[in-house]
Amino acid sequence: MPTIRTVQWKSGEVVLIDQRVLPGKEIYRKYKTVESLAKAIETMVVRGAPAIGVAAAFGVRLAAERSKAKDIEKLRKDILSAAGRLAETRPTAVNLFWALDRMRKTASSDFATAKNLVKAVAAQAQAIYEEDLSASRALSEHGANLIRQGARVLTHCNAGALATAGDYGTALGVLKAAHLQGKSITVYADETRPFLQGARLTAWELRKENIPAYLITDSMAGHLISRGDIDAIVVGADRIAANGDAANKIGTYTLSVLAKEHGIPFYIAAPLSTVDLNTPTGKEIPIEERHEGEVTHVHGKRLAPKGMRVRNPAFDVTPAANIAAIVTEAGIARAPYTESLRKLKEGK
Ligand code: MRU
CA distance 191 to 189: 6
Mutate to test the pocket of ligand 1, among 92, 98, 158 (most ligand atoms within 8 A of CB): 158
The catalytically annotated residue of 190, 238, 245, 316 is 238
Distance 115 CA to ligand 1 centre (A): 36
Q: Which helix (H) or strand (E) holds 173?
A: helix 171-180
Ligand 1 atom with the smallest distance to the CA of 197 is: 3
**Ligand 1 mean position, distance from CA 303 (Å):** 25
CA distances 157 to 182, 218, 223, 271, Å, are 24, 10, 19, 17
Query: What is the DSSP track for 85-111?
Result: HHHTS-SS-HHHHHHHHHHHHHHHS--
Distance 118 CA to ligand 1 centre (A): 31
Residue 245 catalytic? no
Q: For residues 182 and 312, what is the distance between their CA atoms, to the nearest angstrom?
A: 40
Q: Report the C-alpha gap between 256 and 274 in whole angstroms.
A: 19
Residues composing the chain: 348
Atom 14 in ligand 1: which residue has the minimum CA distance? Answer: 159
Whether 238 lines ligand 1, by a CB cut-off of 6 Å, is: yes
Q: Is the CB of 200 within 6 Å of ligand 1?
A: no
Whether 332 is in the pocket of ligand 1, judged by its Cβ within 6 Å, is no
Query: Residue 52 CA: which ligand 1 atom is closest?
Result: 4
Q: Does 49 sit in the ligand 1 pocket, CB within 6 Å?
A: yes
User: What percentage of the chain has pLDDT greater than the value 70?
Assistant: 100
CB 189 less than 6 A from any atom of ligand 1: no
Ligand 1 centre to CA of 249 (Å) is 6
> What distance in angstroms lies between residue 159's CA and the mean position of ligand 1's atoms?
6
Question: From the CB of residue 179, how many other CB atoms can be counted at a distance below 10 Å?
Answer: 22
pTM of whole model > 0.85? yes
Whether ligand 1 lies within 6 angstroms of the CB of 329 is answered as no
Among protein residues, the one whose CA lies closest to atom 6 of ligand 1:
48
Structure confidence by residue, pLDDT tens digits, 251-307: 999 999 999 999 999 999 999 999 999 999 999 999 999 999 999 999 899 999 999
Q: How far apart are CA 159 and CA 167, in angstroms?
A: 11
291 near 235, Cβ under 8 Å? no
Residues 6+ apart with CB under 8 A from 115: none
Q: How far is the CA of 111 from the centre of ligand 1 (A)?
A: 36
pLDDT tens string, the chain, 348 residues long: the values are 889 999 999 999 999 999 999 999 999 999 999 999 999 999 999 999 999 999 999 999 999 999 999 899 999 999 999 999 999 999 999 999 999 999 999 999 999 999 999 999 999 999 999 999 999 999 999 999 999 999 999 999 999 999 999 999 999 999 999 999 999 999 999 999 999 999 999 999 999 999 999 999 999 999 999 999 999 999 999 999 999 999 999 999 999 999 999 999 999 999 999 999 999 999 999 999 999 999 999 989 999 999 999 999 999 999 999 999 999 999 999 999 999 999 999 997
Q: pLDDT (tens digit, 9 = 90+) per residue, 110-121?
A: 999 999 999 999
Task: With both helix axes pointing from N to C terminus, report the angle between 49-66 and 114-144 in degrees, rounded to the nearest 10.
Answer: 170
Say if ligand 1 is within 6 A of residue 140 CB: no
Q: How far apart (Å, rounded) are the C-alpha atoms in residues 141 and 268?
A: 14
> Is residue 112 packed enough to be buried (19+ CB in 10 Å), middle (13-18) or exposed (0-12)?
exposed
